[in-house]
Amino acid sequence: MVLPYDDTYFMKKALQEAEYAFEAGEVPVGAVIVVQDRIIARAHNLTEKLNDVTAHAEMQAITSAANFLGGKYLKDCTLYVTLEPCQMCAGALYWSQIGKIVYGATDEQRGCGVMGTTLHPKTKISGGILADEATSLLLQFFAKKRK
Amino acid sequence: MVLPYDDTYFMKKALQEAEYAFEAGEVPVGAVIVVQDRIIARAHNLTEKLNDVTAHAEMQAITSAANFLGGKYLKDCTLYVTLEPCQMCAGALYWSQIGKIVYGATDEQRGCGVMGTTLHPKTKISGGILADEATSLLLQFFAKKRK
């Protein structure tokens, strides 16, 4: 039996968002927020277009999910994001009390793990889902930028 | 000689923003961003009204200042905020490369100091400006909420 709605399924949707960012000349990071196997928010990094350091994929997804739910807490939600959240995004996720964070590639420079950002005690976190695909897209982006 | 534009002058403007938040039933935190003695952004906490955990005063001020300047980096700017920034806001300030952060009251539970959030190496930070006024407004707010 194949479960259609697993972590890989939703991370593919986040990767699709990252690809939209790539095409738009943005650092390619994408995110979706899921509740009961339903995607309620999709976003990708828009820091260049919006000229705003706060426009990370996760930040927009949090705002969008809260808007959809009509409440600012995301306790029953899972965030899928192609790159490990930074301090800002992990700090926002702390306030949202999100149920679970699943990320793709680890950010060894600026990820919340290495930075020691505190998550909400009820938030679970795991990484490594489609990490190679997420990393490959980021490497392609930075290689293109250097040309 | 009296210098009109000192830290106290600008923190009073941030406190005015915190008072607007108080009147609107929001946790009373206010912020202004200043460049060359000119206020280019004013904001107060709007998490309840916007139903969004990311709507802290500092986050809105960062977005607003970048919009005003037409560039997303705030290297020559100073943020005045009535309460020490949290992880999310300090993380956003890291990305903005802001020149200086001046806060009022210390947040001993969730401030970036106790949380160990990393600031940009070029960002200076100091606190304690009109701290009693900022704390008094917060205590009034929570006392009123408990009633």
- What's the whole-number mean pLDDT along residues A41-51? 98
Where residue A147 falls among pLDDT bands split at 50, 70, 90? confident
Active-site residue, from A17, A26, A58, A84: A58
3-state helix, strand, coil in chain A (%, to 5): 45, 20, 35
What kind and span of H or E run contains A68?
helix A57-69
Considering only the beta carbons, identify the residue of A72, A87, A92 that sits closest to B118.
A87
B87 CB neighbours in chain A (<8 A) are 87-88, 90-91, 94, 117-118
Give the pLDDT confidence of A62-107 residue by residue, as tens digits.
Answer: 999 999 999 999 999 999 999 999 999 999 999 999 999 999 999 9
Instruction: Give the ipTM.
Output: 0.96
A92 CB neighbours in chain B (<8 A) are 53-54, 88
Q: Are B26 and A34 in contact (CB under 8 A)?
A: no
| HSE, side-chain direction, 13 A CA sphere, residue B14 | 32
Q: Which two tokens stand for residue A42?
A: 């999709």
Q: Which two tokens stand for residue B127?
A: 């606190």
Mean pLDDT by 10 residues, chain B (147 residues): 85 98 98 97 98 98 98 98 98 98 98 98 98 98 92
Asked if residue A3 has pLDDT above 80, the reply is no
CA distance A89 to A93: 6
Average pLDDT value over all residues in chain A: 97
Which domains are delineated in chain A? Answer: 7-139 (3.40.140.10)
Q: Is B66 helix (H, G, I), strand (E, B) or coil?
A: helix
Note the pLDDT of residue A2.
65
Asked if residue A1 has pLDDT above 80, the reply is no
Q: Are B91 and B116 in contact (CB under 8 A)?
A: no
- What's the whole-number mean pLDDT along residues A114-138? 98
Note the pLDDT of residue A41.
98
Note the pLDDT of residue A50.
97
